[in-house]
Amino acid sequence: MNWKKTVRVELGDRSYDILIGPGLIARAGREIAGRLKGRRMAVITDEHVGARYLDPLTASLAAEGIAVFPLTLTPGEKTKSFDPLIRVCDHILEAKIERNDAVIALGGGVIGDLTGFAAGIVRRGTRFIQIPTSLLAQVDSSVGGKTGINSRHGKNLIGVFHQPDLVLADTDVLDTLSPREFRAGYAEVAKYGLIDKPDFFVWLEQNWRDVFHQGGAARIEAIATSCQAKADVVAQDERENGLRALLNLGHTFGHALEAATEYDSSRLVHGEGVSIGMVLAHQFSARMNLASPDVARRVEAHLREVGLPVSMAEIPGTLPPAEILLEAITQDKKVKGGKLTFILTRGLGESFVADDVPASEVLSFLREKLGA
């Protein structure tokens, strides 16, 4: 297949294209050479992704006369920390990447967040290209310019906003994801419907099997719609002063559950936390009489149907008590001045930012849900 979709992220002089379709890694050289003048590129990847895609990417770039300087890191969340960041910065400087050249992130969210951060701080900003290789990265972390690493005080606490110059979302690479990994990314796809696109959510209810099916047009459609949805929000609120907070639907509960399971991916991965978190946000909205309980039931039914966890009871092992979960929520970085901010909903695809949620209500809701 030779067709692809293009989503434009409109950010003035920082605008860029997201190309979505099959075979994009093999065509990366042509797509990049047609847009950027530089002929030196540092490619940052991890051992898993690099073993599969570094050679074809390098060949594609070399065919356009682009010199490639690869650096392969250890896979996993621990790579989002200062030591690997320093290594990547040093690598970019050693490769003498100048202003028209670029740094390419080839991998999932960890590689994208880390590499984008390094590109954002070397020479106070170096050109940056994302080649996301997980569904989660394609529909979420590679769009919008959030980059960063973790600190011992929490996840993503150190970073910058640094927009990429180009995103190449090769849909072929998704065929090699495990079903669990694909599903986790799908939670973020469904999220865009639940934020403000009820028609998209209805379409997903009807077409999700085609989205999960290899090489299908529905998959490209779902990714493009997700990227467009995120691009629209980011274009209106690049630095998360307001509207962009909507993208955190399901994430406040989700992050607390990730922290409660100590980021142990055998128990819970990010997208699963978001799935449970979205169901909880809808249930909490019903409890606060903001939306009908039918909406929460419908969301829960769809996410369960695709195979995602929808309740805290499905998380293996013991969860901490409600008080500890609430503490994790209040330590989340979206807290302002001590008040609790949640994304709640008034109906299907009618999410909004509620920034004055009483902690006591959250606590009793969590107690109820934990069966305590």
Binding site for a copy of itself (CB under 8 A): 82, 86, 89-90, 93-94, 98-100, 117, 120-125, 146, 148, 151-154, 157-161, 239, 333, 335-337
* Pair of tokens at residue 127: 């050109």
Residue with Cβ nearer a copy of itself (82 or 293)? 82
Beta bridge partners of 320: none
Q: How far is the CB of 156 from a copy of itself (least distance, A)?
A: 8
Per the annotation, the verdict on 255 as an active-site residue is yes
Distance (Å, rounded) from C-alpha 177 to C-alpha 240? 31
Q: How far is the CB of 336 from a copy of itself (least distance, A)?
A: 6
Q: Which of 64, 205, 221, 240 is catalytic?
A: 240
Residue with Cβ nearer a copy of itself (92 or 295)? 92
Residue with Cβ nearer a copy of itself (94 or 294)? 94
Per the annotation, the verdict on 248 as an active-site residue is yes
Give the torsion through C-alpha atoms of 214, 219, 220, 223, to 10 deg. -130
Distance (Å, rounded) from C-alpha 368 to C-alpha 80? 35
Q: Which of 127, 162, 230, 369 is catalytic?
A: 230
Is residue 354 classed as helix, strand or coil in its secondary structure?
strand
Per the annotation, the verdict on 124 as an active-site residue is yes
Per the annotation, the verdict on 188 as an active-site residue is yes
Q: Is 97 exposed, middle or buried (0-12, 13-18, 19+ CB in 10 A)?
A: buried
Q: Which of 191, 197, 219, 270 is catalytic?
A: 270
Per the annotation, the verdict on 240 as an active-site residue is yes
Residue with Cβ nearer a copy of itself (82 or 361)? 82
Q: How far is the CB of 54 from a copy of itself (least distance, A)?
A: 24
Residue with Cβ nearer a copy of itself (178 or 336)? 336
Per the annotation, the verdict on 230 as an active-site residue is yes
Instruction: List C-alpha distances in Å: 228 to 118, 203, 260, 352, 372.
Output: 26, 16, 32, 19, 41
Under DSSP, the state recorded for 113 is: H
* Pair of tokens at residue 257: 């559950």
Per the annotation, the verdict on 91 as an active-site residue is no
Per the annotation, the verdict on 100 as an active-site residue is no
Q: How far is the CB of 138 from a copy of itself (least distance, A)?
A: 22
Q: Which of 183, 248, 258, 302 is catalytic?
A: 248
Distance (Å, rounded) from C-alpha 340 to C-alpha 92? 40
Q: Which of 188, 238, 258, 300 is catalytic?
A: 188
Give the distance, in angstroms, between the CA of residue 264 and the centroid of all CA atoms in the same chain.
18
Q: How far is the CB of 98 from a copy of itself (least distance, A)?
A: 7
Distance (Å, rounded) from C-alpha 39 to C-alpha 65? 7
- Catalytic residue annotation: 124, 146, 188, 230, 240, 244, 248, 251, 255, 270
